[in-house]
A = this chain, B = another copy of it.
C-alpha cells in the first residue's frame, strides 16, 4: 500500500505527539498540522480504514504497529536528509528542517539505503535527534537537559529541544552548536538563569528558556 504526502505528514505528526502524550487529540494534531479540527477528524477516519491507527470517536488516536513502522521510515528519511544537507551541502542548522520536510516524501527505498551508506550510517541528525536504522531501531542517547547539569561538570551539546529558527538564530549568535563543550559555573535562582563557560572562552549568562532548550551529555 502507498500513502499520499498528506497522509505521511499526519502519521509523522501523530508519531511525534505520541512520544509525549501516549494518545493524541484531534486539537493537538490540528494545531501541529495547521488544519482545522474537522479536517483532522476526516483524515483520522481514513487512516483508520488503512489500518495505520486505532481511533474511536472522541477518544483520541494511537498508531498501530504498521503506522509506527511507516512513521519511523519517514523520520529516518527526514533525519538522513537533514544530515546530508548539513554535513554534505553545508547548510545551516536552521535551514535543513524545512527542506527535509519535502525530501522525506521521496519514495525510493533504495535511495534511502544508498544515502545512508554514502553518509556513513550516521546515528544522529544535526539537531542531535537519533536516526532510525533500516529496521526502525534508534540509539537512545542518554542526554541531560542543560538546566539539570551539575556545576563544574564538563559536558557537550548533543541536542536541541526545538527547531525554531528563533532558537537557532540565538544559538548561532551565542556561538553554541552541536558538540560545543561547556560547563555550568553558577545558577541564579531569581530567574533561573545560568552562567556557563564554553571551553576556552569567557563565561556568560544564558536564560532559563535557552537552557531548557539545550541537551548535553557528560564528557
Q: Is A46 an interface residue (CB 8 A)?
A: no
List A residues 71-119 near B (Cβ within 8 Å).
85, 88-91, 95, 98-99, 102-103, 105-108, 110-111, 114-115, 118
Q: Are A111 and B88 in contact (CB under 8 A)?
A: no
CB-contact partner of A102 in B85, B107, B110, B114, under 8 A: B107
B-side contacts of A107, CB under 8 Å: 102
Q: Are A89 and B102 in contact (CB under 8 A)?
A: no
B-side contacts of A99, CB under 8 Å: 106, 108, 111
B-side contacts of A110, CB under 8 Å: 91, 95
**Bound form: Cα–Cα A115–B81 in Å:** 13
B-side contacts of A114, CB under 8 Å: 89-91
Main SS at interface, chain A: helix
**Bound form: Cα–Cα A124–B12 in Å:** 37
**Bound form: Cα–Cα A91–B111 in Å:** 9
B-side contacts of A102, CB under 8 Å: 105-108
B-side contacts of A108, CB under 8 Å: 98-99, 102
Question: Least Cβ distance of A77 to chain B in Å?
Answer: 12
**Bound form: Cα–Cα A118–B89 in Å:** 7
B-side contacts of A88, CB under 8 Å: 118
**Bound form: Cα–Cα A108–B103 in Å:** 10
Residue of A91, A102, A105, A115 most packed against chain B (CB within 10 A): A102
Contact flags A174-195 to B (C-beta < 8 A → 1, else 0): 0000000000000000000000
